[in-house]
Each structure stands twice: as structure tokens, then as C-alpha cells.
A = this chain, B = another copy of it.
Amino acid sequence: MSDHFKQSPPFHPGMTVGILGAGQLGRMLALAGYPLGLRFRFFDLAPDAPASHLAAQMVADYNDYAALERFATGLDVVTYEFENVPVAAARWLAERVPVYPPPQALEAAQDRLAEKTFFRKLGIPTPPFAAVNSLADLQAAVASISLPAVLKTRRGGYDGKGQFLLREPADLEAAWTALGGVPLILEGFVAFDRELSIIAVRDRDGGIMAYPLVENHHREGILRLSLAPIPPPLQHGRVGQGSNRQIWDGGATLEVDAIGYVAQAMQALNYVGVLAIELFEVGGKLLANEMAPRVHNSGHWTIEGAVTSQFENHLRAILGLPLGATTALGHSAMLNIIGTLPDPAAVLSVSGAHLHLYGKQARANRKLGHITLCAADPETLARRLARLQRLITDFPQQ
């Protein structure tokens, strides 16, 4: 099952980590890794990428093997911050340098059908789904899954792109016209109570640690707000009514399920590093939506909100260092800064607010940064969140 052709060297300060993708996730990995004495080299087609401000970046395409060869020379380990790295490139690198997480995790995560099939095989509950390669397939899938349902491209597509919501039979042809021609998947539409995510990290010896379960709020398919640890479902008024859990156990029941799922997935992939699984909560049960074989936007709160950040733990895992505690320090919120920058001075004047800008030019729907907001208790967090909310354009109403 192992993808690791190259043996992993023992950790020593001064090791150079190669990262495929030089976006904000790579940037935050480097910021977490410099204190461990590490050096970084990035690979990304986009020049002036966020990570290039603080480390060397090679500007090249993932299919340029001469460039990959130069990139790999002298690296001690390679990882990625972008799950659409071509699997062939990752495997080619893995013959030369240890690559974590294993390329097979990329493969499983890049195709929604493979991903859901992988979950199902492990007994991890998912929404109903079916492969769609023709209009006839689509009609059969709708008959079996029933409407509403969501037609999605199997590959590519993120932040809500490449999706079509089918509400009634008349929508089928429009959906097929919009997306057909590439492999598709139909998924049953889930009227979820809320969206959650579980982020865990697995070390090279198979040891696993999980962060507290996170509650996520999306709009237009883009993550806007994460809350960790998850608040009680009834706090929000609109969620949890379907649940029969009258007494809030702090999310422990959900967390046990979620940790079980992510641990199973990591074990099956012989995973090393941070893995995130996005989940739907429906009537007190969890359904796995998708996984990301990398550090995850819903884990950014861990920089200030947990004993060890997801970024540092990802590096510790791939370098064979002991994992750090994933315990939350109080209660945290993570607010994405999308499209427009709020006044930095106003943000920083909110107690417990930590600003993280990615060094990008502002552009509609672009993730420009995030704010971690920390507080000792949920009431203080809510008060501070209300202050921040007024500063951020398009902040979701709770």
C-alpha cells in the first residue's frame, strides 16, 4: 500500500522542505516551520505567490519534469498545500524524495466518486451518490437518489464551482448541458443541520491526534466562518431541532464519530500529515462530504486557538517529530477575509483578534486573509464576534 519509495531521513534542523503550491497554506506552513529551524522551497505556476514573499519559489508547471527535477534536488522531504497537484508529478517526486502525505491520498481526494467510494468502503456514512457519464445515467441516478440532488464534476471544482443543484425533473437537461462531457457524480442533497469539519494529524509511526470538531459557515460555496470547539446546536436557533440530544455533551458524541472516521481514512491511506474531512450534521448523525489531504481553511484558528497549530503539526508529522497537543485554548472563531480588506487597525482593536494577511491583491471572491478571534468563554467570543462582524463586508448573519 505504501507509496514511499524513498526512505525518510531523521529530523535535523536545517532540513529543506519542498512544498507544491505556494498559496496561503504554504505560506503558513513556512511561518510555522521556520521556528523548527527548517528551510523551504516552493513550486507554483503563479509568480509572486503568497509563500514567495518569505521563501524561494520555482515558477513552473506541475507537468514540467525538468523543473520538478531542479526543484527536488537537495530537498529532504516534499509535501503539498494544493490537492490538485497531478498525481503523476507527486509519484515521480516520491521516487526521488520522501513525499507526504502519500500520493495515493491525492488520488483518492481528487475524484469525488473515488472519494465517496473510499468512504463507503470504510463504512463512513456519506450522502447517497452515483456516477454520471451520460444523460441516461443522470436520469437513472435521479430515479434512485431522488430530488433534490446535486450534480458535480468528479474532478476540479472548489468553493462551490462545477456544481448544479437539481430541484425538479425539468432541471436535468440544463444541468447536463452545463456540466456534461466530463465525468460527473450525482449526490443526494442533504438538508443538513450544520456543516462541521474534523482535522487530524497522523505521524510516521501511525500515531493520530485530532483537533476539536469545528462548525463551519459557508456562503456561495466559500467558507466564511469557523467556530471551535463546536458550540451547542441549539445556540443558533435554526439548527439542531431535529436532534433528540436534549443535553449538550459538548459535541463529544459527534466528535467520537468524526475522529473514528478520520482515523479510519488515514489508516487506510497510510497517511502522514494533516487530513481534513468536511461533514454534514443531520439529526445528530454525521455524513462525510469530502476530504482534503492537506492543512485546511477550517483549521486556521489553531494558530492562536490551539496548543499546536495544524501547520506545525503537519510539519512535525512529515519530519518524524513527535506531534504537539491539539487541545483548544479557550474558544475561537476564524473569519475569512474575502474580496475586500477590512480596516486592519479596526480589526486589531478588537480584543483577542489576530490578523493573518496573505499578501494578495484584492479581487472579488478571493481569500485575502483571515482573522482568528480568541476568548476564554463562548459569551465573550460572541460579543467580540459581533464587533468584528460589523467590520467585514459580506459577513454571514448567524
Residues of chain A in range 318-374 having any CB-CB distance to chain B below 8 Å: 320-322, 324-325, 329, 341, 344-345, 348-349, 351-352, 354-359, 369, 374
Query: Distance (Å) between the CB of A122 and the closest chain B CB?
Result: 31
CA distance A322 to B374 in the complex (A): 17
| In contact, B34 and A355 (Cβ under 8 angstroms) | no
Which residues on the B side are within 8 Å of A345 (C-beta)? 11, 320-322
CA distance A366 to B354 in the complex (A): 33
Q: Does A31 contact B (CB under 8 A)?
A: yes
CA distance A357 to B27 in the complex (A): 18
CA distance A256 to B220 in the complex (A): 52
| In contact, A355 and B35 (Cβ under 8 angstroms) | yes
Query: Considering only CB atoms, which chain B residue lies closest to A376 in the complex?
Result: B329
Q: Does A59 contact B (CB under 8 A)?
A: no
| In contact, A14 and B359 (Cβ under 8 angstroms) | yes
Q: Does A53 contact B (CB under 8 A)?
A: yes
Copies in the complex: 2
Residues of chain A in range 276-297 having any CB-CB distance to chain B below 8 Å: none
Q: Does A242 contact B (CB under 8 A)?
A: no
Query: Considering only CB atoms, which chain B residue lies closest to A351 in the complex?
Result: B325
Supposing A13-B341, A14-B359, A344-B321 touch, asked if A307 and B352 sit within 8 A by C-beta, the answer is yes
Query: Distance (Å) between the CB of A342 and the closest chain B CB?
Result: 11
Q: Number of A residues whose C-beta is below 8 Å from B?
A: 37
Interface string of A112-124 (1 = CB under 8 A from B): 0000000000000
Which residues on the B side are within 8 Å of A356 (C-beta)? 35
Which residues on the B side are within 8 Å of A325 (C-beta)? 351-352
Which residues on the B side are within 8 Å of A54 (C-beta)? 30, 34, 54-55
Which residues on the B side are within 8 Å of A316 (C-beta)? 348
> A residues near B, CB below 8 A?
11, 13-14, 27, 30-31, 34-37, 39, 53-55, 307, 316, 320-322, 324-325, 329, 341, 344-345, 348-349, 351-352, 354-359, 369, 374
Given contacts A13-B359, A39-B359, A54-B55, 14 further A-B contacts (CB under 8 A): A11-B344, A30-B54, A31-B31, A35-B356, A35-B357, A36-B357, A37-B344, A320-B345, A321-B344, A321-B345, A322-B345, A324-B348, A325-B352, A329-B329
